[in-house]
Structure 1
Amino acid sequence: MKKETSAAFIWLQRHAAMIRKELVQLLRDKLLVFFLIYAFSMDIILAGGSISLDLKNASLWVRDLDHKVESRELMHRFQPPAFRLKGGVDNAHEIQTMMDKGEAMATLDFGPDFSENIHKGRQATTLMQVDATNSVLGTLAASHASHIVFQFSLEKAQEKLAKAGAASGGTPSIRDAHRVWFNPNQRDSWFMSITELLTIITVFAVMLPATAMVREKERGTVEQLLVSPLSTWQIMLPKILSMTFVILLGTAVSLFCVIRPIFHTPIRGSLPLFFGVTALYVFTTSGLSLFISTLARNLAQVGLLTILVLAPMLFLSGAWTPPEAMPGWLRFAMVVSPLHHYIDTGFGILLKGAGMEILWDSVGMIALIGGIMLSVGAWRFRRQFH
């Protein structure tokens, strides 16, 4: 019994010493420490404050050949924050030139009989051209314009019915009542800041353990570890645990010093659950890092291989493109991406206040996929020492 207790104590003592060594080595790498501080602070501030998915101040130019009340009323309904009415043009060639130069996001063209057709009960049309170079903004501009024109058309139809003697309450109508959950003001900063945090966690989960191992190769200290009385697990596990601790510390700084005070993002779920899932995700995703460390010979190669691994993970995460919009084979590939399940879990806990009774399947997939990656990475890591 004493021998088992003594062996366990020595095992823990060696792990503690190795974890302390990894943290000291990390602190000595000034460039990597700066990158950590920047990523968990300024990068999230820039992502949450400068990236917007909304249509704001889209420049609108108008060619009005009608010059009547109706055309002017409609054009002045294109107001901020979605549109910014820049002015008028005289001919169609000038409109095309502005569109080609990128000076106009959208243009409205009223024919000379626009108001006359409205008064006579005929169909009145206006031509709108939208610059869809950026397809997202182009779609939003067209959608906003359709809503504005529809509302204008509905009001004119109701005015005409009222003048004809029809009761205003006699026409059928549908009332569309919206209820926006989890982000009632639809702030992009809530979504972007949390998405960037989860992405940064993934970047460092893949990069940091590999960096710690390859640094040993570059400095020639890996041979010293091999002749020490340490097992392969006692070399590998402290690197993962120490970097997991660093990532969790950076996550806490981002949540409590950046995301909550600057963007006022609410945290509706359990913080212990979020940090527990994050620790599981980082620990298991480190299997990719171990695999990279067996292929890379220097830190530059670690960076290149990290990009190679992260690119498909980000594209298949579902943060930018929903699974429903992807082809079937890509939706299958998304299921095996651990970041996809981690993003679902992160948003579920932080913004929706969901618990394990709802997120158990996502957490289970993180553990399953991560366990496979960790097993393969550990097998490859141990094999290089034999």
Structure 2
Amino acid sequence: MRRLRNILWLTGKELRAIRGDRVMLVLIAYIFTLAVWLVSDAGSTEVDHLATAVVDEDRSQLSARLIDAIQPPLFAPPVVLSAPQAQAAQRAGEAILVLTIPPDFERDLHAGREVTLQILVDATAVAQAGNGASFLRQTLSQELSEALSPGAESSDLVTVVMRNFFNPNLTSSWFSAVMQLMNNVTILMLILSGASMIREREHGTIEHVLVMPVRPHEIVVSKIVASGAVILTASLLSLVFVVQGAMGVPIAGALWLYACGAAIYVVAVASLGLLLASFTRTMGQFGLLVIPVIVLMILLSGGMTPLESMPDWLQGLLRTISPATHFVIFAQAVLYRGVGFSLVWPEMVMMAGMAAVAVVIVLARFRKVLAG
């Protein structure tokens, strides 16, 4: 009971220190609200109301039908311009795509002669232009097939139907919002836990703690609990009110299950942050040390790039030493696919094992730091 009281007292001290750090509080609020929305939604590269112009030199029923097929939400209502006007609009950045329909297009098509539709792409908008040109080509091909061969033919014995599970409209913000939330948990957890130890050294309060009747493991546990509670609470509020509420991203799985897995993950990351802080004496040194760790954990977690596309040896290494890899697999399964505990418990066990190893290493390192 005495040890528990010590841990609770030290945890309260850490929470008061976080409450007194207004810059950190503002950063946490920003990271889990505006930053999640800006990165996942406002910064989207999806094709959405893409500015399109049409140079119609045929003026036929078929050309009019093709123009009518270019509709929102993928494309903005197309503007019919002359060739010089379209060139000027694209040069000014007012049209990403310009479709040119040549003269006698419909007559040559019905006569069986080869015809060409030209799509001019403003390649400075790389992602939108590439996807937009592909969608426009698909739209035109489908409309031409229906116009020239109405109805099903006798040879059409097989119909291929595609359905997208878990994200029917392939909305990128559904994916990027949750991934950004997990990245924010990783970044802030490392920084907040490590900064708590550096702050003790820079302010000279670590000496005051050492003369108290507390043990090193009680200090370490209190720092993990305090920083973990703050980040876990902020991430859950962001998931419910920002990702699900404001952005409309559906959460398929149980929130309590995600909270349990996230709690295990923040313990592992907080222990890593404390371990990195034990090798440094100032915030500048800690920042230089933690930045490459953050970059590697995020880039190689499987959230930004598929884990399956990495070399086999790297996949095995990440599954052995990185809790971020297991957290991404766990969170995607719970939040996207709505799976239960029976399917994600291996990932939770792996994260718990890594957290236990990290805590043991931190305790051993922390004793050496205090002895020094």
Short-chain TM bin: 0.7 to 0.9
**Number of equivalences:** 369
- Kindly state the Cα deviation for residue 13 of structure 1 after the two structures are TM-superposed: 1.6
- Kindly state the Cα deviation for residue 368 of structure 1 after the two structures are TM-superposed: 4.0
Partner AA of 2:324 in structure 1: L
Match of 1:117 among 100, 108, 125: 108
- Specify the alignment match of 1:5 in structure 2: none
Once residues 102 and 230 of structure 1 are traced to their aligned partners in structure 2, the CA distance between those partners, rounded to angstroms, is: 66
Change (3 A) 1:125 1:305: same
Root mean square deviation, CA, Å: 2.8
Once residues 177 and 291 of structure 1 are traced to their aligned partners in structure 2, the CA distance between those partners, rounded to angstroms, is: 52
Partner AA of 1:244 in structure 2: G
Change (3 A) 1:131 1:295: farther
Q: How does 1:298-313 map to 2 (within 5 A)?
A: 298-313=282-297
- Kindly state the Cα deviation for residue 314 of structure 1 after the two structures are TM-superposed: 1.7
- Kindly state the Cα deviation for residue 119 of structure 1 after the two structures are TM-superposed: 1.6
Once residues 262 and 103 of structure 1 are traced to their aligned partners in structure 2, the CA distance between those partners, rounded to angstroms, is: 30
- Specify the alignment match of 2:325 in structure 1: 340
Once residues 256 and 215 of structure 1 are traced to their aligned partners in structure 2, the CA distance between those partners, rounded to angstroms, is: 32
Once residues 92 and 292 of structure 2 are traced to their aligned partners in structure 1, the CA distance between those partners, rounded to angstroms, is: 36
CA contact (8 A) 2:268 2:323 kept: no
CA deviation profile, 1:69-100 (whole Å, cap 9, x unmatched): 323322332222112223424259x63x6555
Once residues 80 and 301 of structure 2 are traced to their aligned partners in structure 1, the CA distance between those partners, rounded to angstroms, is: 42
Once residues 79 and 377 of structure 1 are traced to their aligned partners in structure 2, the CA distance between those partners, rounded to angstroms, is: 59
- Kindly state the Cα deviation for residue 239 of structure 1 after the two structures are TM-superposed: 0.4
Match of 1:283 among 267, 270, 273: 267
Aligned with 1:58: secondary structure?
coil
Change (3 A) 1:266 1:106: closer
- Kindly state the Cα deviation for residue 367 of structure 1 after the two structures are TM-superposed: 3.0
- Specify the alignment match of 1:104 in structure 2: 95
- Kindly state the Cα deviation for residue 195 of structure 1 after the two structures are TM-superposed: 2.1
CA deviation profile, 1:9-44 (whole Å, cap 9, x unmatched): 221121111111111111111111222222223333
CA contact (8 A) 1:44 1:197 kept: yes
Aligned with 1:196: secondary structure?
helix
Match of 1:297 among 281, 286, 290: 281
- Specify the alignment match of 2:136 in structure 1: 145
CA deviation profile, 1:126-149 (whole Å, cap 9, x unmatched): 122333444432332132122112
TM-score, normalising length: structure 1: 0.84
Partner AA of 1:36 in structure 2: I
Match of 2:54 among 62, 74, 82: 62
Query: Which has the higher mean CA deviation after the structures are superposed, 231-240 or 296-305?
Result: 296-305
**Matching of residue 362 in structure 1 with residue 343 in structure 2:** no
Query: Which has the higher mean CA deviation after the structures are superposed, 363-372 or 33-42?
Result: 363-372
Once residues 345 and 186 of structure 1 are traced to their aligned partners in structure 2, the CA distance between those partners, rounded to angstroms, is: 21
CA contact (8 A) 1:48 1:263 kept: no
CA contact (8 A) 1:313 1:339 kept: yes
Change (3 A) 1:287 1:42: same
Match of 1:229 among 177, 197, 213: 213
Partner AA of 1:140 in structure 2: N
Once residues 322 and 92 of structure 2 are traced to their aligned partners in structure 1, the CA distance between those partners, rounded to angstroms, is: 41
- Specify the alignment match of 1:21 in structure 2: 13
Change (3 A) 1:372 1:125: farther
TM-score, normalising length: structure 2: 0.87
Change (3 A) 1:247 1:129: same
- Kindly state the Cα deviation for residue 55 of structure 1 after the two structures are TM-superposed: 0.3
Match of 2:177 among 193, 198, 203: 193
Query: Which has the higher mean CA deviation after the structures are superposed, 329-338 or 314-323?
Result: 329-338
Structure 1 vs Structure 2: percent identity of aligned residues? 29
**Matching of residue 385 in structure 1 with residue 370 in structure 2:** yes
Once residues 81 and 137 of structure 2 are traced to their aligned partners in structure 1, the CA distance between those partners, rounded to angstroms, is: 21
Once residues 258 and 279 of structure 2 are traced to their aligned partners in structure 1, the CA distance between those partners, rounded to angstroms, is: 32
Partner AA of 1:81 in structure 2: P
- Specify the alignment match of 1:41 in structure 2: 33
Q: Which runs of 5+ in 2 are unaligned?
A: none
